[in-house]
Amino acid sequence: MSAQVVWDRGVSISGSRLWLDPLVVRTFAFISHAHTDHARRHKEALLTPQTLALIPEARRPRGWRMLGYDEPMRIGQATVTLHSAGHMLGSAQLLFEHQGTKVLYTGDIKLRQPGGMRPTHVPKAHVLVVESTYGRPHFRFGDPDSTVEAIARWCRLAIDSRVTPVLLCHALGKTEEIMLALSVYGFKFALEKRCVPCARAYAMAGRSLPDWVELDGEVEAGRVVIAPPAGKDEVRRLSRYRTALVSGWAKDAEFSRIFGADATFDLSDHCDFDELLEVVERSGAEQVYTVHGYTEDFARHLRKRGIKASALEATEQLALAL
């Protein structure tokens, strides 16, 4: 097999028949994590048990091979190993090895973890396919622990002023992780209905969450409300409330304005610009391909640093020799 990285509505390593987070249904596909943009009803999917548990029934693959972290699996002539990606429960990077060549696909990745957890490990590879959601230099996020502390202070201040604090978070992943991070400060929660199935799935997948109820009209004093950023109808029924957007997009004035929040916190489940550079450096890759978000910008920044890099989604379909 001549190792090639191929883009055709998803990444593939040619000769392996394995597609990585493809946007269309494939015979055999790796699903890096349970966010909706990655889950399709593939004939057979390779994923972690937690990712399978978090994918709603209607979007589950028709068949699957579950694989835990750090357990090598033979696929044809190649070996595949999954490594935690630190993005959400079950999220995985995929390391593909064939005849001495290693290709690392990060999926959505986050290096710095709150709560004193160790940063995400990046395996060494010759070729790296890295996400570039926040691949522009103005996306530099604060230390996650300090940000969680600032969010806790903001919530406490609102509660002490008899105002309901409302955190605007992505329903799957961000909501549950912020609940866990804030639980050490003793908060209880009320979740908007779109967050409810995600919280249940998280608990089913093995991560139990602190005390929460479903948001239903007025909320008992002292609870922190969590709701997705778009569509705040239920939140508007609260009598006195204050909202805070919890997202990497907080660093982008335009996006913050769109969500119309009273406060913003730059806590993200993706790497910021510096962390993306760190992923590239730690992988030691000689060739880098970027996918998602600011692909062209990030590839250009890497080239300026003397690294061979290009955006995979630049053209509809291309095959690149290693």
> In the complex, which residues of this chain contact Zn ion (CB under 5 A)?
35, 108
Q: Of 4, 219, 19, which is closest to residue 126 (Cα–Cα)?
A: 4
Least separation, in Å, of the C-beta of 85 and Zn ion? 9
- Are residues 127 and 102 in contact, defined by beta-carbon separation less than 8 angstroms? yes
Identify which of residues 35 and 83 has a Cβ nearer to Zn ion in the complex.
Answer: 35
Nearer to Zn ion (CB atom), residue 108 or residue 177: 108
Work out the number of other CB atoms within 10 angstroms of the CB of residue 183: 15
Rg (CA), the chain: 20
The beta-carbon contacts of 260-266 under 8 Å, at least 24 apart in sequence, are 261/168, 261/229, 263/154, 265/147, 265/150, 265/151, 265/154, 266/141, 266/142, 266/147
Rounded-to-integer distance, Cα 117 and Cα 80, Å: 26
Distance of CA 244 to the CA centre of its chain: 20
Nearest CB to Zn ion, comparing residues 35 and 98: 35
Min separation Cβ 184 and Zn ion, Å: 25
Q: Report the residue number, 108 or 275, with the smaller CB distance to Zn ion.
A: 108
Going from the C-alpha of 317 to that of each of 7, 20, 24, 112, 132, the distances in angstroms are 5, 15, 14, 33, 19
16 or 106, CB closer to Zn ion?
106
How near is the Cβ of 133 to Zn ion at its closest, in Å? 8
CB of 33 to Zn ion, least distance (A): 6
Q: How far apart are CA 23 and CA 313, in angstroms?
A: 12
Minimum gap (Å) between residue 87 Cβ and Zn ion: 6
**C-beta of residue 108 within 8 angstroms of C-beta of residue 279:** no
CB of 110 to Zn ion, least distance (A): 10
For Zn ion, give the closer residue by CB, 232 or 292: 292
| Side-chain-facing half-sphere of 237: CA atoms under 13 Å | 11
Query: CB of 90: closest distance to Zn ion in angstroms?
Result: 11
Is 244:131 a contact under the CB 8 Å cutoff? Answer: no
Q: Which is nearer to Zn ion, 108 or 192 (CB)?
A: 108
DSSP SS3 for 20:
strand
The CA-atom distances, in angstroms, between 173 and each of 36, 133, 134, 186, 300 are: 11, 16, 18, 20, 30
Closest approach of Zn ion to the CB of residue 198, in Å: 13
- Identity of the residue, 90 or 123, whose beta carbon is nearer to Zn ion in the bound complex: 90
